[in-house]
Amino acid sequence: MTIAFLFLALFGLLLIGTPIAVSLGLSSLLTILFFSNDSLASIALKLFETMEHYTLLAIPFFVLASAFLTTGGVALRLVAFANACVGHLRGGLAMASVLACMFFAAVSGSSPATVVAIGSIVIAGMVRQGYSLDFAAGVICNAGTLGILIPPSIVMVVYAAATDQSVGRLFMAGVIPGLLAGLVLMGGIYVAARKLDLPRQPKATRAVLAAALRDSLWGLSLILVIMGGIYGGIFTPTEAAAVAAVYAFLIASFIYRDMGPLKGDAAPEHTASRGLALIGSLLLLAAICGIGSGAFSVIGGGTVIVLTLAVLIVHVVLGRREGRDPLPAMARGLWQGVAYLPVAAVHKDTRHVMVESAKTTIMLLFIIANATLFAHVLTTERIPYNITNWIIGSGFSWWTFLIIVNVLLLIAGNFMEPSAILLIMAPILFPVAVQLDIDPIHLGIIMVVNMEIGLITPPVGLNLFVTSGITGMPILRVVRAAAPWLGLLLLFLVFVTYVPIVSIGLPNLLYGPLTP
């Protein structure tokens, strides 16, 4: 009776147009008030316990990093580099858009942000090159889903928090499936391009390719900062998210200069020179502040000063190789890095990015809090325990159980946001998977791929609405445009589900097999 009331209340609220987060929270609250002995104080305590989970602290930082990257022009440079790599192939611009989505996914962790950042640049260009608007929109809508499969991924962080798994293992588990998903989409584009005789572009020269790589290198380096830092044990995934946010702010404001007080600065230095000058400025500030405050020992302060000098020497050598006097550029870069850092931190562009990131974070955490409350009601009613006993007692094998998992998640993805689905379904499915000897990391990747598909299926597929917004296409037209590529992702889901080595091979190689 209690569970029947819970789900009737949930679907009733959804049918009358109540937002998902409110529906989850209100149905849970009514169920507790009418059928449970728990007090309202226990509900408040449960919500507080949810929000103090250390792993979830990574979410606002990844959202902030994604916002700085989107605003800071990183996406434009990633598109240029991707186009230089594969633009000469048949359908090359469409393939370049998928490759750019893969690059941006590896630094943002958000699917809608990937669609906005890459789609707003490439869709109009694809139409000008002779692609149909429907083809371009369908490709971007589907390629944007890679934002939650290729690490870092906000959705993976949510799964890790719900099941108490390692975020680092999940990130590593997403690398190979993410690359394969991108290659599957690019392969589909190549087949369609040959059939439709889509255009190709002139092959980029080595000089053009090198210039595009150099221009995008500071954005791509964020991949090494996050993944290398986590795997190397330098910082935790949550700390990596904070580092990513600061790094994204610095490259957007001081290297690419697409926002902040230096926006529009016509200084002639290459991004490499600006980056080295910024590093030198930060090291110089660290040395001055550390030695002055006594935070550094003499040896520590001396080490920082030596590193600063090394960076400045590299700056000078690079400038002379390019045939220009490096000293004025070095002095200007050092001055700008020291003088404008406090200004950039409070600049109107920075404030705007932080406010928009805060809005997105509040929305996500509100959904997470209410979904956790809903899952709490299910747990107190022993639903996971009863389902586990029923499946084990019925003789289900691991592969039949995974069929059920995929069907449930695909249906849920039509109606709910990924974070809410994971927080509700993971506590139910996780105990069964453990009993059937299914690797929890493998289950996590299966759930994330299902969430990918949910982002492009109506009626609430978020990528559909984002694509509609940036193209001006009616939502039904976007659904039809995305449908052919959806079939490829469904086939990919089957492959990931029944070939677990794709998901668990890399984390097992790096961290060792997961012990029960």
- Contact at 8 Å (CB) between 440 and 433? yes
| Residue 208 pLDDT grade (very low, low, confident, very high; cuts 50, 70, 90) | confident
Q: What is the pLDDT of residue 46?
A: 72
Is the model more confident about 507 or about 263?
507
Residue 228, CB half-sphere, CA atoms under 13 Å: how many? 7
- Report the alpha-carbon distance of residue 427 to residue 378 in Å, rounded: 9
Quick: pLDDT tens for 248-260: 888 888 778 788 7
Quick: pLDDT tens for 74-92: 888 888 899 898 888 888 8
- Report the alpha-carbon distance of residue 243 to residue 322 in Å, rounded: 31
Question: What is the 8-class DSSP label of residue 457?
Answer: S
The burial of 501, by beta-carbon neighbours within 10 Å (0-12 exposed, 13-18 middle, 19 or more buried), is given as exposed
Q: What is the pLDDT of residue 273?
A: 57
| Residue 137 pLDDT grade (very low, low, confident, very high; cuts 50, 70, 90) | very high
- Report the alpha-carbon distance of residue 372 to residue 285 in Å, rounded: 44
Q: What is the pLDDT of residue 3?
A: 78
Quick: pLDDT tens for 320-341: 565 555 556 566 666 566 667 7
Average pLDDT on 378-392 reads: 76
pLDDT at 305 exceeding the cut of 90: no
Q: What is the pLDDT of residue 443?
A: 94
CA nearest 432: which of 395, 384, 400? Answer: 384
Q: What is the mean pLDDT of the chain?
A: 81
Would you tell me the crossing angle of helices 167-196 and 501-511 to the nearest 10 degrees? 140
Average pLDDT on 27-36 reads: 82
Lowest-pLDDT choice from 43-47, 480-484, 498-502:
43-47
Residue 499, CB half-sphere, CA atoms under 13 Å: how many? 10
- Contact at 8 Å (CB) between 167 and 160? yes
What does the block give as tokens for 330?
């070095």
| Prediction pTM value | 0.84
Q: What is the pLDDT of residue 383?
A: 74
- Return left, alpha or beta for 260; rule: phi > 0 is left, psi -120 to 50 is alpha, else beta: left
